Amino acid sequence: MKRLRTVLGYAALPAEVVLVVCLAAGVPVPAPLLYAVELCLAGAVLLGVLVYRRARRAGLPPGDALYEVVPEPVVRLVRHEAGLLASLVRWVLRRPHGTGGGAEAFGYARDQAALMYAFAFVCVVETAGVYWLLRNVPVVHEVTLVLDVYAVLFVLGLHAASVTRPHLLDGRVLRLRQGCHTDLAVPLGAITAVRREPLHAHERADGVLDLTVAAQTSLTLELAEPVEAVGLLGGRRAVRVVRFHADDPRALHAALTRALTRARTAPCPAPDTPA
């Protein structure tokens, strides 16, 4: 059933996109072909629902059950796009993500702001230019306008996600984030060393995760045990060294040092007294 659903999905979705473009462009589509594509799409959706329900009955959590229906990279990309749009709203409303519960927040997006605004400006200029050039080509004009406007929102969303998702530090975990695509929880007990280390060149190495901002990092963590880092498309790897950036690395270094000291000097709970 899963293979049949996959075949129907990969066949029906591209065909549906082609049909929408043809209908928008005024290209006549034979009724039997239209009905066949819609029937395949409905069948793929129905089979997907059945696969999801079967996975849930088998005990899988909702996220893993969804991956049985839709490939994990696709789900993660959709979530990433939705997260960017939600970040724009949070940015306007000045509501950072996940900052409740007494956690200290440390921003990291300041040094990339000028570059992201420049990208957004270039996208706006390109949108205006293409809009004028294609003003006499109706369908292409509307399609490119939608894509160009979305490109502007995408660039602004990337920056908004970085602004509204700062690093978080509480008494147990340092949560390192990079926009919507990286969220790494590092237990304080796993940290063996933290140092201020401004770097502008980063060579790829096994066990090292670089969360660069404007091609730079300012702090380095060394871990006693590996922590699993999940990539944008779901790729996983174990890391023992994390290099990341903060707008105020001195403040984050000091706060993290204090938190590590408290965690290491906290008294161990007394064992239960036998009855």
Answer whether residue 20 is part of any domain.
yes
How many domains does the chain divide into? 3
pLDDT(265) > 90: no
Q: What is the pLDDT of residue 31?
A: 83
Quick: pLDDT tens for 196-210.
Answer: 999 887 788 889 999
Answer whether residue 275 is part of any domain.
no
Answer whether residue 274 is part of any domain.
no
pLDDT(101) > 90: no
Better-scored residue on pLDDT, 167 or 264 = 167
222 and 181 in a common domain: yes
Question: Given pLDDT bands bounded at 50, 70 and 90, which one contains residue 5?
Answer: low
In which domain, by residue range, is 227 found?
Answer: 168-265
148 and 90 in a common domain: yes
174 and 106 in a common domain: no
122 and 197 in a common domain: no
Highest mean pLDDT among 6-15, 167-176, 200-209: 167-176
- Across the strands, what pairs with 191? 223
Looking at 16, 40, 70, the residue that finishes a domain is 70
259 and 204 in a common domain: yes
Hey, what are 267's tokens?
Answer: 């008294």
β-pairing, 208-211 vs 236-244, is parallel
153 and 118 in a common domain: yes
Total Cβ atoms within 10 A of residue 145: 14
Answer whether residue 273 is part of any domain.
no
Looking at 131, 147, 164, the residue that finishes a domain is 164
How would you write the chain as a 3-class SS string?
CHHHHHHHHHHHHHHHHHHHHHHHHCCCCCHHHHHHHHHHHHHHHHHHHHHHHHHHHCCCCHHHHHHHHCCHHHHHHHHHHHHHHHHHHHHHHCCCCCCCCCCEEECCCHHHHHHHHHHHHHHHHHHHHHHHHCCCCHHHHHHHHHHHHHHHHHHHHHHHHHHHCCEEECCCEEEEEECCCEEEEEEHHHEEEEEEEEECCCCCCCCEEEECECCEEEEEEEEEEEEEEECCCCCEEEEEEEEECCCCHHHHHHHHHHHHHHHHHCCCCCCCCCC
| Half-sphere exposure at residue 213, Cβ-oriented, CA atoms within 13 angstroms | 31
| Half-sphere exposure at residue 23, Cβ-oriented, CA atoms within 13 angstroms | 10
Q: What is the pLDDT of residue 96?
A: 92
86 and 31 in a common domain: no
Share of the chain above pLDDT 90, in %: 52
Are 182 and 162 within 8 A, CB to CB? no
237 and 173 in a common domain: yes
Answer whether residue 271 is part of any domain.
no
pLDDT(150) > 90: yes
